[in-house]
Each structure stands twice: as C-alpha cells, then as structure tokens.
Amino acid sequence: MKQAEIRSDIAWATPTKVVVHGLDLCEDIVGKIDFGQMAFLQLFARLPEARELRMFNAMMVILVEHGITPSSLATRMTYAGAPEAVQAAVAAGLLGLGSVFVGSLDNAARLLQTSLANGDHEPDIERLAREAVDDYRARKEILPGIGHPFHKPIDPRAPALFSVAKELGYEGRYVRLMSAIGKEAERQLDRALPVNVTGAMAAVASEMGIPWQICRGLAVAARAVGLVGHVLEEMRQPLATALYLRTEHEASAHLIPKEHEEPV
C-alpha cells in the first residue's frame, strides 16, 4: 500500500531563502508587513485587505491584556520558581485558558456556526437564540460567550468590538445571533448576562470565516503576547514571591499554636 504524501503548503526553505505562503520572507515580509498582517497570512494564506486587517487587529488586541488574572498569576508564579525558563512561564499561563477565562471563544464560535450552519440568508435569529439558551439550560451547561465574573452589567470590550464590526461591515448574522443569545439569557434567567469579550470575538471571527475549531488559538496567540509582558514586569517589579509568602501565611495561620504566633 502506497503511503500518503507528507505535505505542507505553508512554507519552504533553502540554505539562502525562506518562502511563506508564496512570499519571500526577507524580500516581501520583513520590514514590510506588520504582526497582524503576518498572523492573517498564516490563517488565510493571503495578505488582508485594509478592512479585513483593521477588523482582525481589533479582534486580536482586545484579548492581549486583562490585568492580574489566573493566567497572568500562573505565568508570574512559574517565572518566580523557574526564571531560567521564560517559555515555561508563558506556557503555564496559556494552560489556564479554558471555559471560564478566555478559552470559551471556541465554544461560543461553535455555538454560532452550528446554529447557522444551514446557510439560511434570513434566519430566525430570535428563535435560534431561544433554542440555544433552552438547550444549554436543559443540559445544565455554561452558555459560552455570555456573562462575566467581574464586568457587570456589561463587558465594555464587547460593544467596543461590535462598534468596529458595524463600522467595517462585519455586523452580520453571527453578531446579531450572539447579541440575541445574550438578551434571551438575561430574559430567561432574570439577571445581567452581557455578551462578553469572547462572545464578541467569536461572532466577529465567524463573520470573517474563521472555523470555530481554531478560534481558541486566536485567544492563545493574543494572550501569549500579554503574558510575555507580565514576565518582563515580574523581572523588574516582582510580586509573585510576595503573593506566595502572604498566601502561605494566611492559609496556614489557623494551624499555628498561639504560643508560636509572631507579635503584631
């Protein structure tokens, strides 16, 4: 039996040349296209038009940073324990991107893309939103792209991204469905459940034709940049060790006999 050909169409290299999606790295890319264009090239195998680039950049930069979160804490703590391994510190933060923080992007995109998979040009958005909320509630699962533990009653990043989408002509059926799901969830559960940033990103990514299966990769790529920044700040302005020592003290203080307590 003949083995299948091993093949990649992304890039090839010789001792004197590197070509990425048909563009010479040194002649056509370096110094001529920016990071957003390069990321778009990797995904779509072509350079973006101006409208596409602005939307893609807006979607990517919105998740780079969010302060001291579980992912940035994991990065800082790992760096404190292994300062020789910056890549491990960044990886530690990325491993914490899941259904609660950042990683819900792919689940939200899957919900949108499967709900609109029949290609109906005039879908019943309200019905689809109601069915989505009913389905997740029946299965007692967290509805992706909706609600936020800190940003209430609104995640300000979602309307900011949707505003750019509207301006650039990306406010299509995926954006409408995501907004309708948020409203339906609030109606059924009678509490503030705004569309969050990953829900907004999922809608925009879907409008741009990005498959849901790789949407979490966009979140990972964006947050990786932010985590490198946290490593740099940890080098210059460390907080991980202080947090570790304080946490250890407070968590175990009730176990220490009173005669061994330090005077206040």
pLDDT in tens, 152-176: 888 999 999 999 999 999 999 999 9
CATH number of the domain located at residue range(s) 63-238 in this protein: 1.10.230.10
Among 148, 138, 149, 142, which Cα is nearest to 195's? 148
pLDDT on residue 111:
97
- Lowest-confidence pick of 16-25, 133-142, 247-256: 247-256
pLDDT on residue 4:
86
pLDDT surpassing 60 at residue 182: yes
pLDDT on residue 99:
75
The 8 Å CB, 24+ separation contacts for 129-138 are: 129/177, 129/180, 129/181, 129/183, 129/184, 130/184, 132/181, 132/184, 133/181, 133/184, 133/185, 133/188, 137/188
**pLDDT level of residue 209 (50, 70, 90 thresholds):** very high
pLDDT on residue 216:
92
pLDDT on residue 65:
94
pLDDT surpassing 70 at residue 263: no
Q: What is the pTM of this model?
A: 0.89
92 Cβ contact partners less than 8 Å away, ≥ 6 residues apart: 74, 75, 77, 78
Tokens 């967290």 label which residue? Answer: 142
Q: What is the pLDDT of residues 210-244, one digit of tens each?
A: 999 999 999 999 999 999 999 999 999 999 999 99
- Lowest-confidence pick of 68-72, 79-83, 250-254: 250-254
| Domain limits, the chain | 1-47, 63-238
**pLDDT level of residue 262 (50, 70, 90 thresholds):** low
pLDDT on residue 260:
64
